[in-house]
Amino acid sequence: MSRVILEVKELTTKYITRFGEDVYAVDHVSLKVEEGKSVGIAGESGCGKSTLALSLMGYYFAPLHYTSGEIIVDGHNIIGMDPDEVRRSILGTEISYIPQCAMDSLNPTLKIINFVEDVIKAHHSDISRKEIYDLARERFEILGLPAEVLQKYPVELSGGMKQRTVIAISVILLPLVLVADEPSSALDVTSQKMVIKMLRDLMEKGYIKAMIFITHELPLLYNVTDDIMVMYAGQMVEKGTAKQAVFDPLHPYSKGLMGSIIVPEKGLRGTKLSAIPGVPPNLKNPPGGCRFAERCPYVISECKTHSIDLRVVEDDRSYRCIFSEEELRKAYKNG
Amino acid sequence: MKHTIQQVFHSGKFLVGFVIFMALLLIVIGYPLVIKYPPLQIIGKGTFFPPGIYVNTFDSINAPTTYTLMLDDAAAKRIANKLSNDDRLAMKEWLVSDGIPDTQIDTSDIVSLLDLWQKNYDSNQNLPGMTNAKRNYYVRVNASLQGILSTEGYAIAAQNPQTGALEQTGTVNQSDYVNISNVANVRVLLLGTDNFGRDVLTELVKAAGVSLQIGLVAGIIATLIGLTLGLLGGYIGGFVDDIIMFITNIFTVIPSIVLLILISFSIGQEKRGAVTIAIVIGFTSWVWTARAVRSQVVSLRNRDHVNLSKLSGHSIVHIIIADILPYIASYVVMAFILQISSGILAEAGLSILGLGPRTTDVPTLGLMMNWAMIYQAEILGKWWAYFPVIVTIALITFSMNLMNTGLDQVFNPALRD
Amino acid sequence: MADENTPCLSGSGLTKVFGFGSQKCVAVDHVDFTFCNGEIVSIVGESGSGKTTLAKMLLGLISVTEGEIYFQGKKRDISTQKKKQEYWKNIQAIFQDPFSSYNIFSKIDAVLLDCIRMRGGGRLPRAKKVELMKEACSFVNLKFEELTNKYPFELSGGQMQRLMIARIFLLKPKILLADEPTSMIDACCRATILDMLMQLRKETGMTLIFITHDIGLAYYVSDSVYIMEHGKFVESGSADDVILHSKEAYTRRLISDVPKIHEVWDLSTV
């Protein structure tokens, strides 16, 4: 039984709007990441995956508020920890988070080495500048980034280079878990490939012990992560290994998602893409039963009235639907 | 639109600036309706009357009803008014050098001080180290003390129209009081008079109104010119843009104040009214607005919605008005506010130099500053002739700039705190 | 249905140069192409390859430095505003960013009414106009009753892009140029957009030109593919030829950079 690096139990967080309404962006989500494994989180925009990533950090700024659940990093629960304590001992050293568009938020007036110094000094205030520089250079070179990058300003770097620099800076203190939110969506395909390779290298070489990768691009997840979790309207609707999720999805939403993958591979021209009609529900007043009921092609009346729990199929595989595995597979076969 | 206005009024800075500006505007509009004195009427014979309530003494004596009030401190106040603190200290000095011990002399107890003085003062006595001037001073002080302690009233006498002799018509006792509302002529001069003898407060309110008008006219002209040139140059580009940029650059290189001075001077004293000055200011200060609008338009003209508009077959005029103008509207409003504010300052600057509107027509804030300067109000310490003017100019420009900053925060969400 | 295989839009030696002297930038470098009626064409290139500049030239939004464009066999003439408006009755576009494609001060109704006016329906009675708008909205799975009197920014990105397609439905041009229509939409909603575009093409027979950096998308939808690099077409041909049997190294590199799921994605070539 490998060491569980990150475990999330029934985490619920909400946004409180200006008018005092509660929007439960993350609704009782659980996941477990073991050492050496990576989990991908997929879903359309607004499903709560970015909020989940933010919530994993353990401290919250308004309008995001924690409601319930636990986040256990390497054995200790970080919920309820003092924010300063979290900043000192968790962020950067145990969990490192790369938000969306991180590469665009680099201060244009500082050199890359300044950002590295910032990160390292926040945790080890007694290291000298020369030691920081040597450490940075060594780490960057291992990850395939030339040392000259350290002396450059962010505007002098291309998009792909910037993103890889941001990733290198986030893992400079060798955190246990890396949470990356859409690290490659703003890049062209070549830079994207370099970023993905870097992330895979980080895992394979053991610099990080676990990774959570969030994106809406499914082919990327298939090639990077071991497990895939699909989120819809704040809830987890399916979880399984990458292969299972992509080639044998159980939940109707996942099935729809996987059916809309476009890859330039032989024989795929002209195959019908599955489009999921409609829009996700408003999370201010989520519907009572299954949240996907409005858009599901297999919906029955009980879907809207009963609250649907997670069904566990195997050890790591689960999905949230009223139908059993056999019923779903039969329905999919019949079209 | 409604949402924008709601947001605007939520901005703290805008609200403060707006309130100050509205208060000033209300005063400018409301004051002349209540107080109907002509602003440039010379009412004071003499210069720089200090602020205060001016009670006509003739009417006080002739007031219909005289009241007798027995007040304890009336006598002491009367004496204290006549004998200033400096005088009392001088008296103490004299007495001390005469040999009276310091502890016996109390300058706050006037009665005992006067007592000591009368017992010991000798005008012929030469105290060591006393100059001639100082001796004369003590003589004067002594003379003024005559009768200070008397409780007699005065007699009122008028000349008999036939004989020419003075006949007593009445008396004024030291305990006689009149109710100020019975006095026929009382004038409150909150800010005194200026060098010409004009009521500063009435003048100031009128001047503020005129300056605001000048600012408004100058602001409208400058903004319209800047907006038009910026839109045309920015959107059409090419040759048209080159010409407009050429004109703009000429106006940039020549400092506007020099232009203003030259044009003002050449128009001549006769033709320089307030509106003329406003027009002149407007025609020389559009440069910054034109450039700002142009650069905004240049960045807007390649946007997708403009392209889509073109593809939908709209004409250039329609695109400029519907697709470009609304996007820069907030910017133009802010530029307009700043132009008003700088127009007022420009007029003030011109007037201080003596090149502003004619001095005989209407007062402006700059003209009032000019007069104060020429007649050396600040040297003479007559603060009411220039300090309120400065405060007014500062308040007007401050409130406008505050509104501008508030609007900036509303329209540019990145600046919100 | 228009005749297949007759050239709809073609160009020879098309060039666009920005700036002059030492700061000269050749965005499009002597490209030749022929698009036939009813064809689905994709122009694939990375950012900076000049594909957007080419698109704008085809649309007539920017001027051509050198070369000729032929529309329906004849040399294209858009010298006056009137001729431009005539040309734009035949060619329309969908842009990449749905948020900036709309004037945020006009309501949705105005956008659709504009299209009706452009097709000459300016004088139709109000009821007929509403009927046309309802039809257009239902084609893209939007309800007109929910959209009316709203502003475009109140919709989601996918809905706005679908509204763009509704606009095209009303205009029914001969050629539709889609510049990265799905790159700012989630992967899950892409299929919807593509579906609708295909449907539109089936009904009206219009020529579809996709400008994209996504070679997977190009392979999936197009009949012919043009690969663009630094302003030049380095490879062109049918989709199968170009993608499955590519001859140029650049094309092969582009294909290998896209993540695959059925085949192994080789990361070592980075």
Q: What is the pLDDT of residues A306-325, one digit of tens each?
A: 888 888 888 778 888 888 88
Beta partners for C86?
none
Residues 322-341 of B with CB under 8 A from C: 322-323, 326-327
Cα B241 from Cα A197, distance rounded (Å): 50
Please state the rounded mean pLDDT for residues B67-80: 81
- For A16, the 3-state DSSP assignment is strand
CA of C189, closest CA in chain A: separation in Å? 7
Residues of chain C in contact with residue B304, where contact means CB-CB under 8 angstroms, are: 95-97, 100-101
Residues of chain C in contact with residue A262, where contact means CB-CB under 8 angstroms, are: 190, 214, 216-217, 219-220
**Residue of C102, C105, C115, C179 to mutate, testing the B interface (most B Cβ within 10 Å of its Cβ):** C105
Cα C247 from Cα A122, distance rounded (Å): 52
CA of A71, closest CA in chain C: separation in Å? 29
**Could C59 and B326 be called an inter-chain contact, meaning their C-beta atoms sit closer than 8 Å?**
no
| B221, pLDDT greater than 90 | yes
Chain C within 8 Å of A197 (Cβ-Cβ)? yes
Nearest CB to B326; choose among C92, C105, C118 = C105
Asked whether A110 and A169 are in contact (CB, 8 A), the reply is no
Instruction: Say whether the B–C interface has 3 or more Cβ pairs within 8 Å.
Output: yes
* 3-state helix vs strand vs coil in chain C, percent to 5: 40, 25, 35
**In this predicted structure, what is the pLDDT of residue A1?**
59
Please state the rounded mean pLDDT for residues B274-281: 86
Cα A72–Cα A78–Cα A83 angle in degrees, nearest 5: 160
What's the token pair of residue B356? Answer: 């502003």
Nearest CA in chain C to A224: C259
Could you read off the pLDDT of B128-145 as tens digits, one per residue? 777 788 778 877 877 777
CA of C177, closest CA in chain A: separation in Å? 21
**In this predicted structure, what is the pLDDT of residue C227?**
92
| Of B300 and C157, more confident | B300
Cα C207 from Cα C176, distance rounded (Å): 6
Cα B193 from Cα C53, distance rounded (Å): 72
- The domain C7-269: what is its CATH number? 3.40.50.300
Beta partners for A23?
A15
Please state the rounded mean pLDDT for residues C111-138: 86
Could you read off the pLDDT of C57-110 as tens digits, one per residue? 999 888 888 898 998 888 888 888 888 888 888 899 999 888 888 888 888 888
Residues of chain A in contact with residue C192, where contact means CB-CB under 8 angstroms, are: 275-277
Domain boundaries, given as residue ranges, for chain C: 7-269
Nearest CB to C260; choose among A192, A219, A279 = A219
Chain C within 8 Å of A248 (Cβ-Cβ)? no
Residues of chain C in contact with residue A259, where contact means CB-CB under 8 angstroms, are: 191
**In this predicted structure, what is the pLDDT of residue A41?**
92
Q: Dihedral (C-alpha) B139, B140, B146, B148: value to the nearest 10 degrees?
A: -130
Cβ neighbors of B182 (< 8 A, separation 6 or more) are B63, B64, B65
Chain C within 8 Å of B4 (Cβ-Cβ)? no
Of these ranges, B7-11, B170-174, C129-133, the one predicted with the greatest mean pLDDT is C129-133
Please state the rounded mean pLDDT for residues A279-285: 80
pLDDT band of residue B249 (cuts 50, 70, 90) is: very high
Chain C within 8 Å of A264 (Cβ-Cβ)? yes
CA pseudo-torsion sign C260, C266, C267, C270:
negative
ipTM for the complex shown: 0.87
**Could B304 and C115 be called an inter-chain contact, meaning their C-beta atoms sit closer than 8 Å?**
no
What's the token pair of residue A26? Answer: 């993350």
Q: CA end-to-end span of chain C, whole Å?
A: 46
**Could C191 and A193 be called an inter-chain contact, meaning their C-beta atoms sit closer than 8 Å?**
no
Nearest CB to C261; choose among A188, A193, A263 = A263
**In this predicted structure, what is the pLDDT of residue B412?**
66
Residues of chain C in contact with residue A295, where contact means CB-CB under 8 angstroms, are: none
**Could C114 and B305 be called an inter-chain contact, meaning their C-beta atoms sit closer than 8 Å?**
no
Nearest CB to C92; choose among B303, B304, B311 = B311
Nearest CB to C59; choose among B311, B322, B326 = B311
Go through the domains of chain A in sequence order and give each one's CATH number. 4-106+174-280 (3.40.50.300)
**Whose CA is closest to B1, among C3, C105, C189?**
C105
| B413, pLDDT greater than 70 | no
| B341, pLDDT greater than 50 | yes
Cα A261 from Cα A21, distance rounded (Å): 36
| Of A256 and B229, more confident | B229
Give the count of Cβ contacts less than 8 A between chain B and C: 45
**In this predicted structure, what is the pLDDT of residue C269?**
66
Nearest CA in chain B to C80: B315
b/e burial code for range C23-62 (CB count within 10 A of at least 16 → b): eeebbbbebebebbbbbbbbbbbbeebbbbbbbbbbbbbb
Nearest CA in chain A to C270: A194
**In this predicted structure, what is the pLDDT of residue C214?**
83
Residues of chain C in contact with residue A277, where contact means CB-CB under 8 angstroms, are: 141, 192
| B320, pLDDT greater than 60 | yes
Cα A200 from Cα A40, distance rounded (Å): 13
Nearest CB to C195; choose among A216, A265, A275 = A275
Please state the rounded mean pLDDT for residues A327-334: 84
| Of A258 and B395, more confident | B395
Residues of chain A in contact with residue C161, where contact means CB-CB under 8 angstroms, are: none
Chain C within 8 Å of A204 (Cβ-Cβ)? no
**Could C259 and A217 be called an inter-chain contact, meaning their C-beta atoms sit closer than 8 Å?**
yes
**Could A268 and C215 be called an inter-chain contact, meaning their C-beta atoms sit closer than 8 Å?**
no
Cα B359 from Cα B11, distance rounded (Å): 41
| B417, pLDDT greater than 50 | no
**In this predicted structure, what is the pLDDT of residue A46?**
78
Question: Taking every pair of C-alpha atoms in chain A, what is the biggest distance, in angstroms?
Answer: 67
Domain boundaries, given as residue ranges, for chain B: 2-45+195-415, 66-177
The overall pTM is greater than 0.80: no
Instruction: Say whether the A–B interface has 3 or more Cβ pairs within 8 Å.
Output: no
In Å, what is the CA distance from B142 to each residue of B77, B106, B116, B138?
19, 18, 13, 6
| Of A150 and B330, more confident | A150
**In this predicted structure, what is the pLDDT of residue B70?**
87
What average pLDDT is seen over chain C? 86
Domain B2-45+195-415 superfamily per CATH: MetI-like (1.10.3720.10)
**Could C261 and A274 be called an inter-chain contact, meaning their C-beta atoms sit closer than 8 Å?**
no
| B416, pLDDT greater than 70 | no
Residues of chain A in contact with residue C240, where contact means CB-CB under 8 angstroms, are: 269
Cβ neighbors of A171 (< 8 A, separation 6 or more) are A96, A139, A178, A202, A207, A208
- For A269, the 3-state DSSP assignment is coil
**Could A260 and C240 be called an inter-chain contact, meaning their C-beta atoms sit closer than 8 Å?**
no
